[in-house]
Chain A
């Protein structure tokens, strides 16, 4: 019985693949493809390039070039406000990453390593809710909600900000972990169970090592998303809890100096490094 069903599948497979591949090639050869692609790339990256170039400007201006200098990097490094904001940003991002990745891992296991259950789609939707709801809505409701909690408990501190970040980082960590789990073959875990491994042993020796790349990718996404957040942080942050993006935003009304360009360049570099690692891990483990 197995053979007849298998052969048509293997025979049928190459056929739909080929036209799809041809269509991909066709798309690239559409008239104007190159032009449109270059315009898009230019519009996306030209402002960033300008920002980076002017971070090396000797002048106080962010629009008029004089000569190359690293003085704004030095100024940014010596600026107390920027230093404090960087430390806060990294602290919040680190805590939010650890907790959101842990929760996301548990959620991913609970939605893939079980028999399909009623309300599974609803569970996905709820986990991914922070992606769907406009950030300003989350921000305003969190502000009001935390206001009530502070009123009742009298507690304050950076914990609120970390909690808020953890919550909106969960779906970003969840997606790559779930994708990894869905890619993984169940046979290894079943084989381990057949060999009398307890569920905990199966998880520690088989499932966890296999899903590790997904977890690392999720953690890095969560870290970058937390580092970049403005709106929620702006409304939730209390005294001494200014993060780097919020600090930068506060400068704009009073005139920007290349100091901000320098900090933005460093921030950009950090994001690029993390995202690159994320892709490298994703690619090496899949092959």
Chain B
């Protein structure tokens, strides 16, 4: 009796283990930036694979990283930004799920395959990517907007009408680009020059704040450093705004879906990674989050207003977006000193 029961149990267990990957019934827990996951996308995935999906939101890479480092979060999928993805891979927090061997990998735009944070794409899949430059009211200033001079040596019309992001790397990198210096810079002379530039530019800045859409649409400022998707949403409410592609360069960033090394639902997570490389599904993400996705063929399924948006479609001749690697600690320390001085 007992032996047969044991046998049956063993067979059942084996069946469950074998069946799991094949049918992938069960759960999937996603931990993404807040308000960044298309509910339609989730619904479609749930229906197609008979999986129960839960989505939770975070507001910074740091919070997500802190929780994942402590372990046993219960999450399967996270969506770190490029430099955080690099850190997570280095620390062994992500599972090497080999998206590059998945069925839909051929849809990934080749220019997003050999990226610094995951060369060859062994761990991550593009979620959304965008740029950080600035947007300005063309009615207030009608000259050439494609230069960082508008932020650092503003013309008379824009003096005192500028909002900068309250973000150390974005502000300092913009200053470095304006002067033509290297990113992750530890050259004391160059940094002293940057500090002087920032301190004199600060006279003309009204605020330093993340709430750029609110700042622009309320008319509090006429120029704001901002992300391209936010610029597009601000333009909906203030049509005279235009997003600049400064000739000195601007930041590019990418948020990437990745599977945690300790994911409880590994097989479903892999299915999800493959799922979002399908052009139609990538378009669902973009239509909701309002950024580009890095999957070729997805444009076809995107909302009309996004297909031609000057914030999403970069003009010919604009410089390539500059993806900035995480800087060494000594550089961050130097930056911190400049930042503290600037914020005083």
Contact = CB atoms under 8 A, between A and B. Distances in A.
A121 interface: no
A151 B72 contact: yes
Contacts of B253: none
Contacts of B56: 237, 239-242
Interface string A235-257: 10111111000110111111110
A80 B40 CA distance: 12
B54 A256 contact: no
Nearest to B216: A63
B234 to A, nearest CB: 9
Interface in A53-78: 59-64
Interface stretch (B26-34, B104-112, B118-126, B154-162): B26-34
Contacts of A234: 58, 63
A254 B36 contact: yes
A250 B72 contact: no
A247 B217 contact: no
A143 B70 contact: yes
Of all A-B residue pairs in the complex, the 10 with the closest CB atoms, nearest first, are: A250-B34, A250-B57, A239-B29, A63-B218, A240-B54, A150-B72, A147-B70, A238-B74, A239-B74, A242-B56
A230 to B, nearest CB: 10
B55 A249 contact: no
A254 B34 contact: yes
Interface string B42-67: 00000000000011111110010011
A235 B67 contact: yes
Contacts of B58: 234, 250
A144 interface: yes
A140 B289 CA distance: 31
Nearest to B52: A240
B223 to A, nearest CB: 17
A84 to B, nearest CB: 8
B55 A81 contact: yes
29 contacts: A61-B214, A61-B217, A61-B218, A63-B218, A64-B237, A143-B66, A143-B70, A147-B72, A150-B72, A156-B72, A234-B63, A235-B63, A235-B67, A239-B54, A239-B75, A240-B54, A240-B56, A246-B57, A247-B34, A249-B34, A250-B34, A250-B35, A250-B59, A252-B210, A253-B59, A253-B60, A255-B214, A255-B233, A256-B214
Interface of A: 59-64, 80-81, 140, 143-144, 147, 150-151, 156, 234-235, 237-242, 246-247, 249-256
A72 B31 CA distance: 26
B74 A255 contact: no
Given A235-B63, A242-B57, A254-B35, A150 B71 contact: yes
B309 to A, nearest CB: 16
B213 interface: yes
A147 B67 CA distance: 9
Contacts of B230: 255
B237 A143 contact: no
